[in-house]
Amino acid sequence: MVEIIVDIVASTGYIGVFLLMFVENSFPPLPSELITPPADFSAAKGEWNFFGVVAAGTAGLIVGALP
């Protein structure tokens, strides 16, 4: 499962973080602890913007909580 999540985050970027956090909030068996580390690591290496990762994750959680 970890490899799948890492591949999704690496290939789709911020949209992948948003979608995975949305799904995580809608379907509890998918933990956010598996979603955020690959995105955070990319931000720490300077490949992604830290605030973009935070915004995508937060937006995904909020939109996932609406239904």
How far is Cα 63 from Cα 2, in angstroms, rounded to an integer? 23
What sign does the dihedral 39-15-60-5 (CA atoms) show?
Answer: negative
Burial of 29: CB neighbours in 10 Å, binned 0-12, 13-18, 19+: exposed
* pLDDT at residue 8 tops 90: no
pLDDT in tens, 22-53: 988 877 777 878 888 888 888 889 889 999 99
Each domain of the chain, given as residue ranges in start order, spans 2-65
pTM for this prediction: 0.84
Report residue 5's pLDDT band, with 50, 70 and 90 as the boundaries.
confident
